[in-house]
Amino acid sequence: MDKGKIALVTGASKGIGAAIARELAADGFHIWLNYRSDHSAAETVFKDIETAGGSCTLLPFDVADGEATANVLNPLLEEQTPAVLINNAGFARDGILALMSHSDWNDVMGVHLGGFFNVTRLVVARMLKKRYGRIVNIVSTSGETGMAGQVNYSAAKAGLIGATRSLAAEVGRRKVLVNAVSPGFIATEMTEDLPSEQILPMIPLGRIGEPEEVSGLVSFLCSERAGYITGQVFAVNGGAHI
């Protein structure tokens, strides 16, 4: 496979990120698969991609750590420039604001917004020189509507939506397109313990979404068919927020 066609996917060892990595690999991209610490899950995705005829490089680092991010990415970026960047790394640490610790606030911001900054500033600089790129930020319905008990997560995702729009305006003339995909309730580790009897009535389609229903849209946005789309937020939420 031509490893010149690269997609960097952060937080791709499981859930939505893993589905995106698999789908983009099937589209012909060599995957730079980032994850923080779950080596076993990352190896599983790696093997799935290789077994299906794709190719993948595992990149373990914490996107919230700017120095670690630069140490891993800069040597690679000296040789190759990804055509696609998917900012997917993230996690939730829920709780009401009045009782929220500084670490619960800072850690969520550090991964979602700090991680976006640490990774994107390095990659987009190379994309601008190439005059080509696709950046897709994975946000959340919580960042569009707000969600009780998720002030930190909602704020981080709303910030990422703002960053998507501003960066799209900055880099469009160099043919770098920036969009966001906003999943609702998707069957991942983040939702498996949520009470379905409370969630399903909120969703007009009456079911939880699948990671592949998110990755399919990401695949389209990374394709040439999406060449006139930038600065947009696309919801995949079963109608939970319209």
Question: Strand, coil or helix: what is 85?
Answer: strand
State the 10-residue block means of pLDDT for the chain, 242 residues long. Answer: 77 98 98 97 98 98 98 98 98 95 98 98 98 98 92 98 98 98 91 83 96 98 98 97 94
Q: What are the strands, taking DSSP E only, across the chain?
A: 6-9, 30-35, 56-60, 84-87, 133-138, 176-183, 233-236
Q: Quick one: pLDDT at residue 96?
A: 97
**Residues with a known catalytic role:** 153
Q: Quick one: pLDDT at residue 124?
A: 98
**CATH T-level topology, domain 6-236:** Rossmann fold (3.40.50)
Q: Quick one: pLDDT at residue 197?
A: 85
- The structural domains of the chain, with segments of one domain joined by +, span 6-236
